[in-house]
Structure 1
C-alpha cells in the first residue's frame, strides 16, 4: 500500500495522496481518506486526478457531487491535482463545475504543484 504524506503548504496542513493506489469511484472510497486526513490533522486532501474513476468526470453519474459533498460534510477541503482538460473539452457542464468549485474554499481543481502552492497563499 502506498502511503499518503502530510505536508504544510503556507501553514495549511495538507494530506497528499500518491498517484498509485486504488481508484476512487464513490463516496465510500473517500471515507477512509477523510478519516486518515482528519486523524493526521490535515485540513485539505490532495488527490491526483488519475486516481479518480472515469465516472467522476461525467457529472450525470453524480459521483463527483457525492464525493465533493462528503468532503464538505466533514469540513475537509479537496484538491483534484492534474490536467483534466481531456474531460473538460468534452463537457461544458464539467467546465462549469470546475470553474464554480475553483471560486470557492472547499474544492479546487489545479493542474500542478505550482498552482497548488499558489492557491494556499490566500
Structure 2
C-alpha cells in the first residue's frame, strides 16, 4: 500500500494505491482508517475499487453498509473510484446514486473527480 497526500482547496486528501485488496471486512476497513489518520492526519480518502473485496458490491451481504458506517462513525469521507458500470444490480446502482447525493461517501469514475469532490465539502 502506498499513501500519498494532496492538498486541494484547503483540504488534505489521502490517495491510496495498492495492488492488493485492503478492505475485506469491517476490521480491515477500521485498520485502513486508523493507518491513514495516523500516517497522514487525513480524514478524506480516495481508494480504487480494486482495493475492496467484490463481496462489498453484493448488497445482500450487508458488508458495504457495515464498512461505510465505520467511515461515518470515524468522520472519514471516502471516494471509491473505478468503473461501476459492470454491476447490473439495480439496488447497487441506487445505492451508489444515493451515496453520491450525500456528503461522506462517493463512487466516482476517476481520481481527479474524487479529489475535486472531497475538496469541496
SS at match of 2:72: helix
Q: Match of 1:62? A: 62
**Aligned 1:106-121 pairs, distance under 5 A:** 106-119=104-117, 120-121=119-120
Q: Which runs of 5+ in 1 are unaligned?
A: none
Instruction: State the Cα deviation string for residues 64-114 of structure 1 (Å, max 9, x = none).
Output: 111100100100011101111112xx1010011101100111100110123
CA RMSD of aligned residues (A): 1.5
Query: Which residues in structure 2 correspond to 1:76-87 (within 5 Å)?
Result: 76-87=76-87
Question: Paired residue for 1:36?
Answer: 35
TM-score by length of structure 1 reads 0.88
**88, 92, 102: which is aligned to 2:100?**
102
Deviation of the 1:23 alpha carbon? 4.0
Which of 65-74 and 29-38 deviates more?
Answer: 29-38
Q: Given the superposition, is the C-alpha separation of residues 117 and 94 from structure 1 closer, same or farther in structure 2, using an over 3 Å criterion?
A: same
Higher relative contact order (CA 8 A, sep 6+): 2
- Residue deviations 1:23-71 (CA, integer Å, cap 9, x gap): 4221111112111222221121111011111111100101111110010
Aligned partners of 2:92, 2:8: CA distance in 1, in Å? 27
Unaligned runs of 5+ in 2: none
d(CA) in 2 for partners of 1:28 and 1:101?
Answer: 22
Question: TM-score, structure 2 length as denominator?
Answer: 0.89
* 76-85 or 34-43, larger mean C-alpha shift: 34-43
Q: Is the 8 A contact 1:25 1:63 kept in 2?
A: no
